[in-house]
């Protein structure tokens, strides 16, 4: 997923930040792709509607109820 994919899915920077429980400035600071652990969290949160990119990233290994900081 790209940052643009995430923003489109949730409906903007503030709504994305609220969905993953971070400040909107955190989302604003992302580059082209959200950080790897955020992508893992978003992939789980969207039930796979958004997938991690690039594909060569390591697998996600955390409990689904664990929040990523």
Q: What is the pLDDT of residues 15-31, one digit of tens each?
A: 999 999 999 999 999 99
Instruction: Please report which confidence band the pLDDT of residue 43 belongs to, taking 50, 70 and 90 as the band edges.
Output: very high
User: What local confidence, expressed as pLDDT, does residue 55 receive?
Assistant: 74
Euclidean distance between CA atoms 67 and 7, whole angstroms:
20
Neighbour-count burial for 43-62, b at 16+ CB within 10 Å, e otherwise: bbbbeeebebeeeeeeeeee
Instruction: Delineate the domains of the chain, giving CATH numbers in brackets.
Output: 1-69 (1.10.260.40)
Read off the pLDDT of each residue in 2-13 and give the average, rounded to a whole number. Answer: 98
Query: What average pLDDT does the segment 30-53 reach?
Result: 93
């Amino acid at each position: 997923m790209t940052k643009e994919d995430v923003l489109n899915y949730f409906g903007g920077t503030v709504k994305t930040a609220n969905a993953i429980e971070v400040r909107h400035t955190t989302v604003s600071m992302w580059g082209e792709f959200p950080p790897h652990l955020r992508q893992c969290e978003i992939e789980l949160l969207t039930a796979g509607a958004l997938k991690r990119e690039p594909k060569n990233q390591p697998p996600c290994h955390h409990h689904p109820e664990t929040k990523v900081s």
